[in-house]
Amino acid sequence: MSERFDVLFAGLPEEKAIELLQTDPEELKNPVEKYTAATRLAACNSDASLRALIEAIDLDPDNLFNRITRRKALEALGRRRDSRALPGLFSALTFDDEPSVINAVDSIAQIGAALDEEQRRTLLDALGGSDNQKRSVIQAHTRLGIEKGEREISLLEEDNNPLVAGAARSYAARVHGRVDRLDPLIPQLTDPIAGRRRSAVIDLGDAGKSFVLKHLVSCPVSMPLRAKSAFQILDPEKTGEIPAQYTELITTLLQDNPVDMELRKDWICESSLSEIEKNLQHRDEAKQYGGALALMKMPDQQKLNAIDHIHSKYWSDYGANYLLTAVIGLNRVHERSDLVRTALAETLPQYAKSRVAAAWACLSLELNDQIGLLQEIQLKARWIPLKWSCEQVLKQMS
């Protein structure tokens, strides 16, 4: 989803970004501009910018800003999806800077080119790193469909770290057809630890098996992450087309009703404003959904007062903004439809999921005055879950 944030760097001209990337950070008034430039060049297409990013792989890592820039350049090269970057990316697999190695591995997978025997061996050798690195290397094998490596990766299916084991199980299912290896990932979707739930969502998406979709719908993990895996399974070519038999499931996922979530009792708070506030501000999405569910269960007038209070304090927080918009639509709170209109019109990328909630709220609240904006978003949106939501809402509103 990083593409959604390109607008934040669009004001930096490509030529200036190349110049900054090639300047010694000691000579810059603001050295942060050097790695910002690398991120900016991820959205460019010229050979000059590609060469500049490849050259940045060789920056001296002893300088902190160079080291961060190198990481950003390795990441940017994945988004460029140009196989000319592969030699530099493979050279980065020998770095002693783990984030750089992981970014290089991820970019190799994003480029998606067929690898020769030497490259496959070099990639497999990177399994010798930390657990985070192991996970990235296994994911690359899965996403590239590399059959060789089965013996080494299968040994990790029972790893003590579920993030490593889950990636290995996803590889077994996707590349070698061992679908039964996914079984332990289903209960992991409701694990008390948020990171384990999130990793299971990613691993099930990588496995590419549609039978897991019903479990993704009810998993208390952020909607964008679940949507990414769901669309990855059903629309791997990113056409924006979903098979008709899955429309209802994807609609349920994107409408994101906390009532449909498998929420543990300790994730759901009391229906008091102070407790709901705490949950909505929690780092664990399950707690956030628990807070939204408590808000939805409030008596109507109390709910209105709570919505106004949360709006006045937390509307700029994109997590609370999203959940508040969703609740207004799901509970058909017509009195606060103005907030739905505001959320739908918000163009800052961090509020994209609020626009999804607002689109569905337009349907439930019958906001026909928003049809023009919905049509515009449907035509211009780059994020497929938002584009698809507007398309479906418009079909039902017509």
Which domain does 21 fall in, by range? 1-93+105-112
φ, ψ dihedrals at 236, nearest 5°: -60, -25
122-154 residue pLDDT tens: 999 999 999 999 999 999 999 999 999 999 999
Residue 345 belongs to a domain: yes
Amino acid 155: pLDDT: 97
pTM for this entry? 0.93
Residue 296 belongs to a domain: yes
Amino acid 1: pLDDT: 44
Residue 351 belongs to a domain: yes
Count of structural domains within the chain: 2
CA–CA separation, 219 and 186 (whole Å): 9
Helix (H, G, I), strand (E, B) or coil at 282: coil
Whether the CB-CB separation of 135 and 167 falls below 8 Å is answered with yes
User: pLDDT-derived band of residue 368, with 50, 70 and 90 as boundaries?
Assistant: very high
For residue 88, pLDDT beyond 60: yes
| Residue closest to 106 by CA, chosen among 67, 78, 69, 83 | 78
Q: Which amino acid does the sequence have at 382?
A: R
φ, ψ dihedrals at 90, nearest 5°: -70, -30
User: pLDDT-derived band of residue 12, with 50, 70 and 90 as boundaries?
Assistant: confident
158-173 residue pLDDT tens: 999 999 999 999 999 9
For residue 328, pLDDT beyond 50: yes
For residue 58, pLDDT beyond 80: yes
Amino acid 3: pLDDT: 54
For residue 8, pLDDT beyond 90: no
Identify the domain boundary among 79, 112, 145. 112
φ, ψ dihedrals at 303, nearest 5°: -65, -45
Signed CA dihedral, 185, 189, 191, 197: sign only: positive
Whether the CB-CB separation of 268 and 293 falls below 8 Å is answered with yes
Residue 52 belongs to a domain: yes
CA–CA separation, 258 and 291 (whole Å): 9
Residue 349 belongs to a domain: yes
295-315 residue pLDDT tens: 999 999 999 999 999 999 999
Residue 384 belongs to a domain: yes
CA–CA separation, 268 and 284 (whole Å): 12
User: pLDDT-derived band of residue 398, with 50, 70 and 90 as boundaries?
Assistant: confident
- Average pLDDT, integer, range 290-295: 98
Identify the domain boundary among 78, 112, 146. 112
Residue 39 belongs to a domain: yes
Q: Which amino acid does the sequence have at 241?
A: E
Identify the domain boundary among 58, 84, 112. 112
CA–CA separation, 5 and 13 (whole Å): 16
| Residue closest to 356 by CA, chosen among 252, 234, 207 | 252
| Residue closest to 307 by CA, chosen among 288, 292, 317 | 292
238-279 residue pLDDT tens: 999 999 999 999 999 999 999 999 999 999 999 999 999 999
Domain holding 367: CATH number?
1.25.10.10
Residue 146 belongs to a domain: no
CA–CA separation, 240 and 392 (whole Å): 11
